[in-house]
Amino acid sequence: MNVRMWIIVLCGIFLLGIGTLFTANFLISQRVFNDVTMPQITDALRQKYEYGVKSAVEVEAQNLANRLKNVSDKKEQYAIIEQLTDYQRFFPNNEGYYFTYTTDGMRINVPINKSLNGKDCSNLKDANGVPFVRKFMEVAKAGGGFVEYSFEKPGAGIQPKLSYVCLIPGTDALIGTGVYIDSVQAEQQRIAALVTESNDRYAMYQAWICLGIVVLMILVAWYVTRVICSPLRQLTGAADEVAKGRLDAKIKLHPRCPREIRALDASLGQMIGNLRERIDEAARKSEEATAAVEEATVAQREAEEARQQAESAKRDGMLAAAGQLEGIVEILSSASTELSAQIEQSDRGAHEAAERVSEAATAMNEMNATVQEVARNATSASSASADTKEKAQTGSAIVEKAVHGIEQVRQLSLELRDDMGQLNEHAQAITQIMNVISDIADQTNLLALNAAIEAARAGDAGRGFAVVADEVRKLAEKTMASTNDVSNAIRAIQESTSKSMASVDNAVRQIEEATDYASQSGSALEEIVATVDATADQVNAIATASEEQSAASEEINQSILRVNDMGRQIAEAMGGASKAVTDLAVQAQKLTDLIQDMKRG
């Protein structure tokens, strides 16, 4: 597959990946919207309407409570409640309104259907059989809450509804309002439509982006194919011409082709030039080799003629020289035999001397090893003594620091004992203060009881004062209970303080004993330091003497080793001389044989 096809395939793979990526992004966004976003929108809308309904009911209940604060007649209260809630309309689309009931189920007002106002509706149920009024009563008495049921919606019939109800403070009436579920669903559908429209718009943008990328990739592929493939075809054609033997092929590239193509063209041109130079040089070498072959042929012919002349002269001279060489060889053979015997005797003496020197060297090595072992042991003992001395001195210093630290701990313990005494005194003072507070609380409680009795005698006029007196009495009781708790805590602190003072006294005694023991340890360590110091001096003297003896033994051992080396060198020299004499005898024998051959030849 050529470069053009590779570029097209790569662009196709890239476009396929981009399309797959955008498609997957769109499908994932749709799934996230359906599985995550929509449930979140539903929950958010429900929470929004629940919060709005609850806030509206609680605010209106407080407003009605403030308005009815000075109205004691229930009928008048119900009339005011109906009047104030009858006209109010609110979210969504003015569908919201306030409905009111009494805690025993009587309807005060439902603005969209007043036919049951003033009647008992405690057993009223919706289309699904839910006794929603009874649920209103239960939830309101429990402090307020939400109730789901079905109720008439103006213009839409019976629809599911979610309402919040609570009591109006200071009355036996409850107030509530709600939102129809279909209104929430309509809002949810409206938001879903907006989100869907936004997603569709986003998908359209993605499609346009994909189309733009496709067009861009087509242009890039066309440009790359034009810029790269055309110069490559030219270079391929030039290479084919060179392969056919045309070394003068020229290439004209487009001025805007890539730098890599230009570099390849330059390298190809340089290769062609080098190839042309190599071919020219090979031709020159071939011519030089031909000339050298001719010269060698002439020289070989002249050498053959000279060899024939030399053989003729050699035969004449060899017979004359053979007689003279025979006498010389006899003398050389006799001398080599005598020299070989003397060398063999000297070699045996050298070997014996080397063995004796080797035995002496072995003995000196053993003695030297023993002396060095003694020196090492003495040095180790000296180092151990020095370490022991240093550690003993360190221990003495640590003991001194420990004595000083224990003394500081003893001082801190004494200060702690004084602080404990002061804490006990403060606790006793607090106890006295708490007794005074307890007496005041008793008097306050008694005064509150008297005030309550007087308020009861006063009747309705003293009702408010009776409430205040009752609150004062409760506050006095809480004060007495708190005073008892504080008194118990102070008593526990005093007991703990007494125990802590006893423990501190015991700790002071133990610390003083530890100080005495530490002082005794310091004295013992000082004596150990003195003894270790004397021992270290003696061990150092032994180590010094052992090192001197080891040095002398080492010098003797080195001298013996040098003598041993000299003996070994002499033996080796004798062996070499013996071998040389033997070789000389062999050569003499060969020379004798050669002379005989010369005589025969």
* Cβ atoms 27, 19 nearer than 8 A: no
Question: Is 578 among the domain residues?
Answer: no
Phi, psi dihedrals of residue 525, rounded to the nearest 5°: -65, -35
Question: Is 85 among the domain residues?
Answer: yes
Domain range for 210 is 4-217
Phi, psi dihedrals of residue 256, rounded to the nearest 5°: -100, 20
Other Cβ atoms within 10 Å of 178 Cβ, number: 25
Please check the confidence at residue 55 and state whether its pLDDT lies above 90. Answer: yes
The pLDDT-based confidence of 106 (bands split at 50, 70, 90) is very high
In angstroms, rounded to a whole number, what is the distance separating the alpha carbons of residues 189 and 216? 40
Other Cβ atoms within 10 Å of 155 Cβ, number: 6
Nearest Cα to 406, choosing from 269, 528, 516, 570? 516
Question: Is 183 among the domain residues?
Answer: yes
**Which pLDDT belongs to residue 197?**
86
* Cβ atoms 229, 6 nearer than 8 A: no
The pLDDT-based confidence of 139 (bands split at 50, 70, 90) is very high
The pLDDT-based confidence of 100 (bands split at 50, 70, 90) is very high
Provide the strand spans (E) within 168-232.
Answer: 173-180
In angstroms, rounded to a whole number, what is the distance separating the alpha carbons of residues 54 and 96? 12
**Which pLDDT belongs to residue 402?**
60
Phi, psi dihedrals of residue 69, rounded to the nearest 5°: -60, -35
In angstroms, rounded to a whole number, what is the distance separating the alpha carbons of residues 35 and 503? 69
- Cα 517 to Cα 299, 411, 512, 514: the distances in Å are 115, 18, 9, 5
Question: Is 273 among the domain residues?
Answer: no
What is the separation of C-alpha 592 from the centre of its chain, rounded to a whole number of angstroms? Answer: 92
Q: What share of the chain is helix, strand, coil (3-state, %, to 5)?
A: 80, 5, 10
Question: Is 53 among the domain residues?
Answer: yes
pTM of this structure: 0.36
**Which pLDDT belongs to residue 325?**
54
| 374 vs 158: which has the higher pLDDT | 158
Question: Is 136 among the domain residues?
Answer: yes
pLDDT digits (tens, 9 = 90+) for 400-451: 776 676 677 667 667 766 766 776 676 676 667 667 666 776 777 677 667 7
**Which pLDDT belongs to residue 90?**
80
210-230 mean pLDDT: 79
Residue 548: half-sphere exposure toward Cβ, Cα within 13 Å = 5
**Which pLDDT belongs to residue 507?**
63
Query: Can you list the alpha helix ranges (DSSP code H) found in 68-108?
Result: 74-85
**Which pLDDT belongs to residue 278?**
73
Question: Is 279 among the domain residues?
Answer: no
Please check the confidence at residue 157 and state whether its pLDDT lies above 80. Answer: yes
Size of the chain in residues:
601
Residue the block writes with tokens 């102070």: 490
Other Cβ atoms within 10 Å of 581 Cβ, number: 20
**Which pLDDT belongs to residue 373?**
65
Question: Is 27 among the domain residues?
Answer: yes
Nearest Cα to 154, choosing from 106, 89, 60, 100? 89
pLDDT digits (tens, 9 = 90+) for 328-360: 556 656 655 665 666 566 566 656 655 654 665
pLDDT digits (tens, 9 = 90+) for 533-592: 665 666 566 556 556 656 655 665 565 566 566 656 656 766 665 676 576 567 667 666
R_g of the chain, CA atoms, integer Å = 63
Please check the confidence at residue 147 and state whether its pLDDT lies above 90. Answer: yes
CATH of residue 97's domain is 3.30.450.20
- Cα 496 to Cα 71, 484, 511: the distances in Å are 61, 18, 22
Please check the confidence at residue 127 and state whether its pLDDT lies above 80. Answer: yes
Domain count, the chain: 1
Token pair recorded at residue 222? 């066309």
- Cα 548 to Cα 214, 255, 376, 544, 556: the distances in Å are 95, 90, 12, 6, 13
